[in-house]
Every structure is written in C-alpha cells, then in structure tokens.
C-alpha cells in the first residue's frame, strides 16, 4: 500500500485555505489541517469533506453528449477527443454566422482554479468579448470599483489593525475561516469590531458596536460617517490635500446627509452612527474588509466607492494596520498578461455587453485606466479577482434570450452553475434554451450542465498542481500539489482551453503542453521552475512595501485618490457617491428580502449531494422575526412560499430572534441533486433565490448593472411541503 501527504489549496469555497491531503493507493483518504501552526486553524468542515467530494460515485468521469431534448438529461458517452472536435466545429459555425461576440463564457475561477487566464486568452485571440463570472456580483466588481478611486483593490492588514468594520460580512468558523481567525486574533489584541448588519449575526454578537441598519442602505450609512468625520475634522488633512482630488465636491455631497437624514434612511440611531464613525476614524489603523453585502445593492458602486473614500481620507490607505495596495507579484507572471487583453480589437471591446449602459467593470472603464495602470503597476490591464474587463451578466442573458442587441448562440459554463448564479433565472433558462451550443465543464451534473450539449468532466484540487496567487488580490504564492490522478477522462479547464485553442489554430499562442509547463512559464521571471518552487516550500510571502504612491502616484487618471471620479464623470455618471433608494416594500409585498446569504455547509450552489454536509442543513430555510411570524400566522417549521413580483421560493420557515423586523432572509443556490430524474432540472426552480430578484433597470445599480439582492420587496405565505421533497424523504 502506498500513501502520501501533500500540500493543497482547497477550492471548495473561494477563500483558498492551505491544507494537506492524504492519499492511499491513488485515492484521497483524508484532508487535514496544515502543519504550519499559523495556518493550522484554517480548515472547515467543507474542506474536511473533500474526500467525499473527490471520490463521489456521481462524479462525472467521461465526456457526455446530449441525445434527448435540451434539458431532458439524456446522454451518451463520448471520448474527450471526439467531444473537443465536435465542440470546436460547432463553435466555429456559430462564430462564422454570428461573429465572435455571439459566444459567451461564464466561469468561476474559484472552482476551476487552473484556468490561469487561458479562457480570456482564447477569447481575445478569437475576438470574443463576452466573458462573465459570479465575481460580477461578488468581490470582482468590488475590485473594479476600487480601481476607479485609487487604481487597485486593497487587502486589509488584519495582523496590525486596531479596528475592523464589517458591513454585513459574517466570517465564521466554517465560512471564510481564515478571515474569522484573523478577526479573532485582532479582537484578542484589543482591536475594535464594528458590525453593520440588519441581523444579529455571529460577528454582531461579539462586536463592540452593532448598527442594525435597514438592508441595502450601506451607501447612506457611509455618507453619515463621512459627515461626522468631516464635521469633527477627523480626517487626514495632509493626505487629502496632497493626494486626493475632488474633496470639495465630496464635502458638498456629504453635507446633503445630516445624521437626521441618515437615521431616517438606515433606521439606526444617530448617536450610534456618530459613535461608530468616531471609533473608526480615531483608530490608529483601521480596515473595512471586502464584503459580499455591499457588492449586491442598488447603490453598490457608490457604497463601494464610499468604503474606498473612508479608507483614504482617514489615512488608512497603504499603511501598516490599514489597507495595502499590493500590486502584482513580481516573480509570478500575472493572468493579466497571459490573457492578452491588448489583442482584442477596439471594435470588439466596444461590443462587450454592458459597455454602453453599465460600463464600470467592462473594457470601457479598463481602457480609461490602462495608461495609469501600466505606469504604476507595470501592466496595462489589471485583472484583480478576475473582476475586471467583464461583460455585464444581465445583458449577456438578455442577448442569449432575445438577441438584443445581437444574438449570443454559444455558451460555455465552466465550474459554474450559471442557471442559478445570476438574477432572473427564468430569463437565463430562456437564454440557454435558445442556444445552438452549450458546453459545461463540471464535477457533477448540475442543472446548468443538464441544459448543455456537451458535459466535460472536471478535476479537483487533489488531482492537479497549482500555485495560487489569490487572483492578484494578495502577493502571496501558495502551493497546491497533485496527490492522485483525475478519474478516467476528467481534466482541468487549462487543458480544455488549450485543446480548444489548438483546434482553432492558436497553437503558437498556447505553447504549454501541461499545467506544469504553464506554471514554469509563470515562474520564469524569477528564474525557476514549478518543480523548484515545489521543492523549496509551500508558500512565499512577498516583503510588503507601504506608501508606494509617494514614488509612483496612484493608478488613476489624475495620479491621485479620486474622491470625485473622473472616469465616472467621463462615462456620464455622477462622479461623487450618492445614496439611491431601492424599490420599497408595499402593502402587497411588505417585507425587505435579502438573499445570497451563505449556509456553512455549502458554497454557492454546490455540495447539496455530499451527505455529511447535507445532514448539517437538509433543507433551505427562510428566516423571519418572531413578531412578523405571529403577524403572518406562521410558526417555526411551517413550509412557506417567499414571493416577489418576479418569482417564488419554497422553503421551511425558521423563526429567528436574530432577524430584524420587516426583513426576510432567503439562502442562496438551492437545488436538489437527489431529485434528478424526478423533477425538471433536479428541482432548480423549487427553492432557488435566483428567481426572486428582477434584473430590470429599476433593480439595478446604474454604473455596474448589478442587482439589488439586499432588500427587495417580498411576502411570505404558508404552503404545503413540495410533494417531491415528501416523496424523497419517504424513500
């Protein structure tokens, strides 16, 4: 019997914990904590369950080709080479008829890990601009918006900070585990924790200050904080004078938000707002870490910009204990370079969906940042957390469904359950049913894969070599080693794009025959190979540099922190942040619904088929405050429909004291793998929150076009447990 243990970077969620994986006789047997004591606590029960995922009997092992109607879930097995030949031929047909813009790709780099920008490289060589990802709603869009203000996406210096502000973010032992551990360490050092969350979340329970703001009002809250900070002169006047532009315009806007108004909008007592603002501003080193909550609001661009502005004016930008602008890791060629964005012709960039109406994370804004980005960071395009130069997902699905403004007829989803990952699931389904070619690259047969023409089996972290760089969010490099071979014909997304590129005649631009050769290339500037990196260690931490702007300026058109954004002004938007009220609850839909909340056992739409994780959360729950439950005549454990004007979710009711009155919470991404073959698309329309929120303009942030997932009108009514779930339980 042969056994070995190797270092891994977990990809079961997006946080990338460093772990170790044990294997015996070519099979993963156990995932355990890291042997570095500083990393040993970074493990959750999803990571521990990795062997069940990697060895799952339902894992896809050979390529499948559709033989029934689209979505009927009938397949025949085919060889990888045959599938790739047919995919290439059919994609060429679509491109010939509709142009390269008629081809769209949706992917989740967290899941696939090893794409290394080769998807964008292929698309740019082809002339195809319509690449989308879940990062359009989560972290990637935050990165793009941060760049408007100071040209990079900062990382909080948790190790030295004295104050942490969590806007709805709720890291826990089993979700965002490393951040949870860093918060605990900071708290133990005496750092203050401020939580802004309608719920009494886990973090709120332990916070120094908890502001229970109304969902979706983050921008108004930040304007209130700035009002206090400016009025009480708690800002760094020297930094603002030397390194910021647009202060007067910002101040004028902030003056429109006296605390009385902010109290009225947010529902938080003005004294508490002022206390929180003072606590943040007076801390010697404070951070506002990225949050998935602010990413998905109708004033998201303004709210993210306000976080950026708070960092800057309080002197917390690129300093110890504040938030640092890391730049590219100098010893690892970035995806930004591999992607060859400069080869995509201008006229194709202009066809990217979103370019006209919601351009902030599209090529349109990227082109405006190109020159300063190259001057400061060395490359014209900075792909940060993959969330820059993206198409707008809503516009892509509209084009797929209606051919407006032009048809999209080929759609690839890699490691991405696209059907359930963006707003307006009904439109996404319509768009997918209207395709000439759909390819899915997946571990399991998801509802999205069920709609495909070809399903290719993907690999997992124990089956591939990798060096993770947090998609340029940090400058740390971490090693993930191959422990076992992938099953049968399963392979990486790198292999997929490379093999497709060869069939399109792009072989000269894809000279790498294996992942290891690509990793050798990415390490070549530090004059070493992957084998040498692997031999030397499991992690490299680049020595930090602070206040780099003193040498280079900021990567913005002015070279300064743009409190009033010249890019937003040039794009025709308000250059100064503002608050916009979302559609308010009505008599018919009296609650503010917030969706997208994580359940510990799952990441996004995954893992419902893993028994030990599913047992921890067998069914989806809608949360409600006890007084609201009484008002609706409902009790804990009732089955309910959460309804909006656009769709409904069926789930079990959970009455929670921690909920804010007037709010309903719905979990993200529920489907029922066990119902495959019994319910259409394995119950993808029973409990999925993606049907609830509209993607009409009324519900979209202006600048990015992201949906308002945090506080849209809804109601809750009693219903019976879905028969399919009853039957499933009985069996």
Partner 1 sequence: MTKRTELHQRSLELKATVMSWAANKLFTFKQTGIDGYLKRSMLKPKRGQTAATE
Verify binding: residue 481, partner 1, rule CB under 8 A: yes
Site string for partner 1, 284-323 (x = CB under 8 A): xxx--------------------------xxxx--xxxx-
What φ, ψ does residue 323 adopt, rounded to 5°?
-125, 125
The closest of 539, 418, 419, 425 to 133, measured between CA atoms, is 418
| Given the residues 14, 119, 295, 689, the one annotated as active site | 14
Q: What's the closest the beta carbon of residue 114 comes to partner 1, in angstroms?
A: 20
Please select the residue that binds partner 1; options are 185, 275, 539, 569, rule is CB under 8 A.
539
- Strand duo 64-66 + 454-457: pairing: antiparallel
E runs forming strands in 553-670: 561-562, 591-597, 621-624, 639-643, 648-655, 663-667
Q: What's the closest the beta carbon of residue 543 comes to partner 1, in angstroms?
A: 6
| CB hemisphere CA count around 550 (13 angstroms) | 7
Tokens of 511: 């000279």
Do 134 and 416 meet the contact criterion of CB atoms below 8 Å apart? yes
User: Near partner 1 by CB under 8 A, which window of 55-63, 176-184, 494-502, 533-541?
Assistant: 533-541
Closer residue to partner 1 (CB): 40 or 200: 40
Cα(478)–Cα(470) distance, integer angstroms: 9
Cα(124)–Cα(348) distance, integer angstroms: 9
Q: How far is CA 658 from CA 135, 184, 202, in A?
A: 29, 21, 9
Do 716 and 591 meet the contact criterion of CB atoms below 8 Å apart? yes
Verify binding: residue 3, partner 1, rule CB under 8 A: yes
Verify binding: residue 458, partner 1, rule CB under 8 A: no
Q: Where do runs of H (alpha helix) occur along 105-232?
A: 109-112, 118-126, 140-150, 177-189, 202-206, 218-231
Do 294 and 210 meet the contact criterion of CB atoms below 8 Å apart? no
- Strand duo 64-66 + 75-77: pairing: antiparallel
Closer residue to partner 1 (CB): 209 or 320: 320
DSSP annotation of 461 reads G
Verify binding: residue 538, partner 1, rule CB under 8 A: yes
The closest of 43, 38, 41, 55 to 8, measured between CA atoms, is 43
Residues 6+ positions from 124 with CB-CB distance below 8 Å: 339, 340, 341, 343, 344
Closer residue to partner 1 (CB): 7 or 75: 7
SS3 content of the chain, % helix, strand, coil (to 5): 40, 20, 45
Closer residue to partner 1 (CB): 534 or 562: 534
Q: What's the closest the beta carbon of residue 186 comes to partner 1, in angstroms?
A: 15
Under DSSP, is residue 251 helix (H, G, I), strand (E, B) or coil?
Answer: helix
The residues that bridge with 712 in the sheet, in sequence order, are 593
Q: What's the closest the beta carbon of residue 41 comes to partner 1, in angstroms?
A: 14
E runs forming strands in 61-180: 64-66, 75-77, 103-107, 130-133, 155-156, 163-167
Closer residue to partner 1 (CB): 234 or 567: 234
Site string for partner 1, 138-177 (x = CB under 8 A): -------------------x--x-----------------
Count of all residues that appear for the chain in the document: 731
Q: What's the closest the beta carbon of residue 410 comes to partner 1, in angstroms?
A: 42
Verify binding: residue 182, partner 1, rule CB under 8 A: no
Q: What's the closest the beta carbon of residue 554 comes to partner 1, in angstroms?
A: 17
Verify binding: residue 283, partner 1, rule CB under 8 A: yes
Q: What's the closest the beta carbon of residue 299 comes to partner 1, in angstroms?
A: 25
Please select the residue that binds partner 1; options are 92, 93, 184, 282, rule is CB under 8 A.
282
Q: What's the closest the beta carbon of residue 234 comes to partner 1, in angstroms?
A: 6
Closer residue to partner 1 (CB): 22 or 680: 22
Site string for partner 1, 540-579 (x = CB under 8 A): xx-xx-xx--------------------------------
Number of other residues whose CB lies within 10 A of the CB of residue 39: 19
The vertex-391 CA angle with 386 and 392, nearest 5°, equals 110
Verify binding: residue 47, partner 1, rule CB under 8 A: no
Under DSSP, is residue 502 helix (H, G, I), strand (E, B) or coil?
Answer: helix
Site string for partner 1, 224-263 (x = CB under 8 A): ----------xxx-xx------------------------
Count of residues that bind partner 1 according to CB under 8 A: 44
Verify binding: residue 7, partner 1, rule CB under 8 A: yes
Closer residue to partner 1 (CB): 96 or 541: 541
User: Near partner 1 by CB under 8 A, which window of 349-357, 537-545, 611-619, 672-680?
Assistant: 537-545
Verify binding: residue 536, partner 1, rule CB under 8 A: yes
Cα(710)–Cα(726) distance, integer angstroms: 31
Return the biggest CA–CA distance within the chain.
72
Residue 25 falls in the annotated catalytic set:
no
The residues that bridge with 426 in the sheet, in sequence order, are none
Please select the residue that binds partner 1; options are 104, 281, 385, 571, rule is CB under 8 A.
281
Closer residue to partner 1 (CB): 74 or 550: 550
Q: What's the closest the beta carbon of residue 319 comes to partner 1, in angstroms?
A: 6
Q: What's the closest the beta carbon of residue 34 comes to partner 1, in angstroms?
A: 9
- CA 413 from chain centre, in angstroms, equals 15
Cα(660)–Cα(578) distance, integer angstroms: 25
Verify binding: residue 372, partner 1, rule CB under 8 A: no
Verify binding: residue 88, partner 1, rule CB under 8 A: no
Residues 6+ positions from 170 with CB-CB distance below 8 Å: 197, 201, 202, 203, 204
Cα(552)–Cα(563) distance, integer angstroms: 19
Closer residue to partner 1 (CB): 551 or 615: 551
User: Near partner 1 by CB under 8 A, which window of 3-11, 99-107, 115-123, 521-529?
Assistant: 3-11
Verify binding: residue 464, partner 1, rule CB under 8 A: no
Q: What's the closest the beta carbon of residue 547 comes to partner 1, in angstroms?
A: 8
Cα(621)–Cα(665) distance, integer angstroms: 8
Q: What's the closest the beta carbon of residue 478 comes to partner 1, in angstroms?
A: 10
Binding residues among 13-42 for partner 1 as defined by CB under 8 A: 20, 22, 35-38
Binding residues among 312-371 for partner 1 as defined by CB under 8 A: 313-316, 319-322
Closer residue to partner 1 (CB): 160 or 529: 160
| Residues labelled catalytic | 14
Binding-site ranges for partner 1 (CB under 8 A): 3-7, 20, 22, 35-38, 157, 160, 234-236, 238-239, 281-286, 313-316, 319-322, 481, 535-541, 543-544, 546-547
């Amino acid at each position: 019997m042969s056994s070995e243990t190797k270092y891994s970077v977990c990809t079961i969620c997006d946080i990338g914990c460093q772990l170790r994986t044990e294997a015996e006789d070519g099979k993963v047997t156990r995932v355990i904590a890291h042997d570095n004591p500083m990393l040993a606590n970074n493990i959750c029960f999803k990571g521990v369950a990795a062997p069940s995922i990697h060895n799952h009997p339902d894992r896809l092992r050979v390529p499948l080709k559709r033989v029934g109607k689209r979505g009927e879930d009938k397949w025949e097995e085919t060889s990888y080479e045959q599938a790739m030949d047919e995919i290439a031929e059919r994609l060429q047909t679509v491109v010939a008829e509709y142009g390269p813009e008629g081809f769209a790709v949706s992917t989740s780099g967290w899941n696939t890990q090893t794409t290394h920008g080769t998807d964008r490289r292929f698309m740019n060589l082809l002339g195809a601009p319509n690449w989308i990802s879940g990062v359009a709603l989560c972290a990637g869009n935050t990165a793009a918006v941060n760049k408007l203000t100071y040209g990079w996406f900062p990382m909080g210096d948790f190790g030295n900070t004295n104050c942490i502000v969590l806007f709805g973010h709720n890291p826990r032992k089993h979700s965002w585990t490393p951040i949870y551990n860093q918060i605990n360490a900071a708290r133990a050092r005496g750092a203050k924790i401020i939580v802004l969350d309608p719920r009494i979340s886990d973090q709120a329970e332990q916070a120094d200050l908890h502001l229970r703001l109304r969902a979706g009002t983050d921008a108004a809250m930040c304007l209130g904080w700035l009002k206090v900070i400016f009025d009480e002169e708690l800002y760094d006047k020297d930094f603002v004078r030397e390194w910021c532009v647009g202060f007067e315009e910002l101040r004028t806007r902030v003056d429109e938000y006296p605390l009385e108004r902010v109290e009225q909008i947010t529902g938080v007592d003005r004294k508490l707002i002022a206390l929180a603002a003072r606590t943040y501003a007076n801390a010697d080193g404070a951070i506002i870490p990225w949050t998935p909550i602010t990413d998905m609001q109708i004033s998201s661009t303004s709210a993210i910009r306000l976080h950026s502005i708070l960092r800057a004016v309080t002197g917390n930008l690129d300093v110890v204990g504040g938030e640092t602008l890391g730049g590219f890791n100098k010893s690892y060629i970035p995806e930004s370079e591999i992607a060859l964005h400069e080869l995509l012709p201008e006229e194709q960039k202009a066809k990217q969906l979103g370019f006209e109406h919601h351009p902030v994370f599209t090529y349109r804004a990227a082109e405006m940042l190109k020159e300063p980005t190259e001057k400061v960071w060395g490359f014209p395009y900075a792909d940060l957390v993959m969330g820059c130069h993206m198409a707008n997902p809503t516009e892509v699905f509209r084009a797929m469904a209606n051919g407006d403004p032009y048809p999209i007829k080929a759609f690839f989803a890699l490691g991405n359950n696209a059907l359930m990952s963006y707003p307006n699931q009904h439109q996404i389904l319509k768009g997918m049913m209207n395709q000439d070619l759909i390819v899915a690259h997946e571990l399991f047969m998801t509802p999205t894969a069920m709609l495909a023409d070809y399903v290719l089996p993907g690999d997992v972290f124990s089956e591939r070599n990798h060096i993770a760089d947090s998609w340029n969010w940090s400058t740390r490099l971490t090693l993930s080693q191959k422990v076992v071979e992938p099953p049968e014909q399963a392979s990486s997304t790198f292999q997929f794009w490379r093999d497709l590129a060869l069939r399109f005649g792009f072989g000269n631009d894809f000279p790498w025959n294996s992942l290891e050769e690509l990793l050798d290339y990415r390490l070549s500037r530090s004059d070493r190979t992957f084998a040498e990196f692997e031999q030397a260690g499991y992690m490299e931490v680049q020595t930090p540099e602070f206040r780099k702007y003193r040498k280079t300026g900021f990567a913005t058109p002015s070279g300064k922190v743009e409190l009033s954004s010249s890019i937003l002004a040039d794009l025709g938007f308000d250059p100064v942040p503002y608050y916009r009220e979302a559609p308010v609850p009505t008599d018919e839909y009296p609650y503010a619904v917030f969706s997208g909340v994580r359940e510990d056992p799952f990441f996004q739409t995954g893992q419902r088929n893993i028994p030990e994780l599913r047992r921890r959360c067998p069914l989806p729950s809608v949360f409600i405050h006890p007084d609201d439950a009484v008002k609706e005549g409902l009790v804990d454990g009732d089955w309910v429909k959460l309804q909006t004007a656009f769709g409904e979710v069926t789930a079990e009711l959970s009455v929670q004291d921690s909920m804010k009155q007037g709010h309903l919470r719905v979990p993200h991404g529920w489907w029922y793998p066990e119902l495959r073959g019994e319910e259409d698309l394995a119950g993808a329309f029973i409990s999925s929150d993606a049907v609830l929120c509209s993607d009409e303009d009324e519900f979209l942030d202006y600048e990015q076009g992201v949906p308002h997932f945090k506080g849209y009108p809804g109601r809750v009514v009693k219903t019976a447990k879905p028969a399919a779930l009853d039957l499933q339980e009985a069996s």
